[in-house]
Amino acid sequence: MSELVAPQLVVNSRMIYFGWVPADPEAVAALVPDGLKPMANRRVFVNQYVVD
């Protein structure tokens, strides 16, 4: 598979997108990959989609 370059546009898909502020903010900060900075309140976003 070729390397995808941002931004991507997903069309004709079913999607769920939600976010929350975790009970343990430091646990979330520990999961953030090197080179990225977590949000100040450690809010988490999840985006999943299916393209038929």
Higher confidence at residue 1 or residue 23? 23
pLDDT, mean of residues 28-47: 90
Per-residue confidence band for 22, with pLDDT thresholds at 50, 70 and 90: very high
Phi, psi of 31 (to 5 degrees): -90, -10
- Contact in structure between 50 and 14 (CB atoms under 8 Å): yes
Which helix or strand (DSSP H or E) is residue 29 part of?
A: helix 25-31
Per-residue confidence band for 1, with pLDDT thresholds at 50, 70 and 90: low
- In this prediction, residue 52 carries a pLDDT of 83
Of the candidates 22, 9, 21, the one whose C-alpha atom is nearest the C-alpha of residue 49 is 9
Of the candidates 23, 21, 11, the one whose C-alpha atom is nearest the C-alpha of residue 50 is 11
Kindly report the average pLDDT of the chain as a whole number. Answer: 88
The 8-class DSSP code of residue 42 comes to: -
Look up residue 50 and give its two tokens: 């299916």
pTM for this prediction: 0.55
